[in-house]
Structure 1
Amino acid sequence: MKTYLLISAILLTGIQLYSQKAERLDTIFANEHKNVALFFPQPISQGITGASHFVFSHNRERQQYFGLLQAKPGTESNLLVIDAGGSVYSYILKYRKDLSRLNYFIQGTERIGNAKPDRPGSAKKVEPKRNQFDRDTHYQSFGSYLLRKKERIGRVKKRNQGIILSVENIVFNQNELYFVIQIENQSSLDYDVNFLNLSVTTRQKGKKKSMQSLKKDPVFAYKAPTKIKKGHTARLVYVFPKFSLSNDRQVLLELNEAKGERDVVLKISHRFINNPN
C-alpha cells in the first residue's frame, strides 16, 4: 500500500484539474469469474490499482484502447488510469459476486485532469504513436494501391489441377513486407480456401535430409478470399514484419483446399525476400 501511495504521488504531480471542487468518483464492480472491460477514448499508457486483490491488465508494449479488470473478495480500492494523451481517470473499485455490467465505455468528459498540462515555454508537443486504427487504414490503402499497380518480381507460380498460385510482387514499406498474391481457378469446380499459410523452411544437410519449418502470421490480410469461383481470380495482400533469409532458407506459400485435395505449395527463393521492390 505504501508503494502505491508513492507511485500515485509521483504520477499526480503537475495534474491540471478542471475544478477545485472534489470530484465524485464512479464505482466499478468486478469479481474473479468474469472480465470487466474498460474502453477509453485514447490508448492506455498506465493503469494502477490500489490493492493487490484488484488486477487491471492492459497491453503495455502495444498500447490499446481497452483494459480488463478482475477482483478477489476484499475491501474496496481505487483505479488510476492515464492515457496516451495524458488524460487522468480515477474510479472506486468494489468486489461484487454478481455483476450486472461487464463493459464500460469511458467518455473523455469523465477525466479528472491532465498529467501533461500545456504551459507557455513547455517542451515541444510530442506526436502520439500511430494506433491500430491508423495502421489498419494504412494497410488497406497501401494494399489497394499495390493491387492496382502492375509491377512484378518475376515468374513465381505453381499449378495443381487448374488452381494456380502465384506471388506477383513483394514490396518493402515502413519496415514491413507486402506480398501481392494471386489465386486463379481454371478448374470446373469452385475452390473453398481452408488456409493460405506462409512459412520459412531450412533444409538440413547430410545423409538424412529434413526440413524445418517456421510459420509466419501476417499482421494484416487485405481481400483474403474464402472462395474462388470456377473461372475466377482472386488477388490479395499479406503484410508481414520485415524479415530476411540466409542462402539455405526459402519461403513456402501453402494454399490448402477445404474438403478437397487441390492443395498448392509455392517455393519462393531467398533472393526475392532479400531484394523486395
Structure 2
Amino acid sequence: MKKNLVFVFLLVGFLGFSQHTKKKGHRKSVKKTYVKKATPKVLTTEERVETVADPLPVAEPEKVVTPTVEAVTPAPTEKPNYEILAEKVLKEKGWIHNRNSALINGVEGFVKGVYSGNGKIFVLLEIANRSNINYDIESAVFITAPIEKNGKIIDTEEKTFIPIFSNQPESFSKKSKQKLVYVFDKFTISGDKTLHFVMNEIDGERSLTLEIKPKYILESASTK
C-alpha cells in the first residue's frame, strides 16, 4: 500500500513538472522598447529676435541696359557759291592800276578791283598798316556820296550797302598788309554818285576813306 502511494505521488509530481516545463518553453518573450522623449530646445532671446526679424528675400532690381549710341559725325557744310568765288577773287592781283588809294597816319588803302559773278558784286581792297601801332577796326561801311558838278551837289541822298560776306579782320597788326574782299548782292550806282569805303579806328582818329567809282562797278571783271 505504501508502495502504491509513493508511486502515485511520484507520477503526479512528474506530470506536474512536465506540464510546467512545456508551458514555459512555448511562452514568447516580449522585448520592451523605450522611446526617449525629445526635450524641446529653449531659444535664447537673441535667437528669437533673429528668427522673428529674418527678412524676406528681396528681389534684385533688373539691370537696365542702355543701348549704345554711336557718335555721328555731322556732314561738313558746303560753302555757298559766293564764298568760293570770294576765295578766288582774293588770289587776283587786281585790274585797277591807277593810284586809287588813300593814306592816313601810316595806314594805306588800295582799291584793287571790282568783280561780278553769280548775281554778286565782289570788291577787292588791300590795307597796309605801315605804322608801329596796331590798327583796330571800329567800323567799316560802304556808303554813297554825291558828286559835285559845276560846283553844285546834284543828289544829297546817301545809301548804305551792307556786304553779305567778308574776310575783314578785327585788327591790322603793325607792319602788316592784307587783302580784303567784300561780297554784295548785285547793285549799280548812278553817274552822279560815287561809293565810299570808310574804315574807322577804335580809340583813334585814323579814318581811312577809299573811293569806288561807278564805272568800276559797271566795268567789273567777270569771275566764275
Scaled to the shorter chain, the TM-score interval is 0.5 to 0.7
**8 A contact 1:225–1:234 mirrored in 2:** no
Q: Cα offset for 1:201? A: 2.1
State the match for 2:163 in structure 1. Answer: 218
SS of the residue 2:80 aligns to:
helix
- Give 1:147's aligned amino acid: L
**8 A contact 1:166–1:266 mirrored in 2:** yes
* Structure 2 Cα separation of the partners of residues 272 and 175 of structure 1: 16
Q: Cα offset for 1:207? A: 7.2
User: Which is strand-richer, 1 or 2?
Assistant: 1
State the match for 1:177 in structure 2. Answer: 121
State the match for 1:255 in structure 2. Answer: 199
**8 A contact 2:82–2:118 mirrored in 1:** no
Matches within 5 A, 1:40-55: none
Residues 1:146 and 2:89 are matched in the alignment: yes
State the match for 1:240 in structure 2. Answer: 184
Q: So what's the TM-score if we normalise by structure 1?
A: 0.48
Q: Cα offset for 1:206? A: 8.2
**8 A contact 1:170–1:273 mirrored in 2:** yes
Question: Which among 122, 130, 134 is matched to residue 190 of structure 1?
Answer: 134
- CA offset digits 1:105-164 (Å, max 9, x no partner): xxxxxxxxxxxxxxxxxxxxxxxxxxxx65x43233222211112232223211111101
Could you tell me the percent identity over the aligned residues? 24
Q: Cα offset for 1:247? A: 1.6
State the match for 2:112 in structure 1. Answer: 168
- Give 2:168's aligned amino acid: A
**8 A contact 1:204–1:211 mirrored in 2:** no
Structure with greater contact order relative to length (CA < 8 Å, sep ≥ 6): 2
Structure 1: runs of 5+ lacking an equivalent? 1-132
Q: Cα offset for 1:205? A: 6.1
Aligned residues: 143
User: Which is helix-richer, 1 or 2?
Assistant: 2
Q: Cα offset for 1:176? A: 0.8
**8 A contact 1:184–1:231 mirrored in 2:** yes
**8 A contact 1:196–1:254 mirrored in 2:** yes
* Structure 2 Cα separation of the partners of residues 274 and 227 of structure 1: 31
Instruction: Specify the structure having the higher radius of gyration (Cα).
Output: 2
**8 A contact 2:164–2:183 mirrored in 1:** yes
- CA offset digits 1:169-208 (Å, max 9, x no partner): 1111111110111111001211001111111222476877
SS of the residue 1:166 aligns to:
strand
Matches within 5 A, 1:1-277: 136-155=79-98, 156-203=100-147, 209=153, 211-221=156-166, 223-277=167-221
- Give 1:195's aligned amino acid: S
* Structure 2 Cα separation of the partners of residues 170 and 206 of structure 1: 28
Q: So what's the TM-score if we normalise by structure 2?
A: 0.58
Q: Cα offset for 1:212? A: 3.0
Q: Against the structure 1 CA distance between its residues 207 and 271, is the aligned structure 2 distance closer, same or farther, given a 3 Å change threshold?
A: closer
- Give 1:146's aligned amino acid: V
Structure 2: runs of 5+ lacking an equivalent? 1-76
**8 A contact 2:94–2:124 mirrored in 1:** no
- The more displaced of 194-203 and 207-216 is 207-216
* Structure 2 Cα separation of the partners of residues 271 and 265 of structure 1: 18
Q: Against the structure 1 CA distance between its residues 152 and 206, is the aligned structure 2 distance closer, same or farther, given a 3 Å change threshold?
A: closer
Q: Against the structure 1 CA distance between its residues 179 and 207, is the aligned structure 2 distance closer, same or farther, given a 3 Å change threshold?
A: closer
- CA offset digits 1:2-44 (Å, max 9, x no partner): xxxxxxxxxxxxxxxxxxxxxxxxxxxxxxxxxxxxxxxxxxx
SS of the residue 1:218 aligns to:
coil
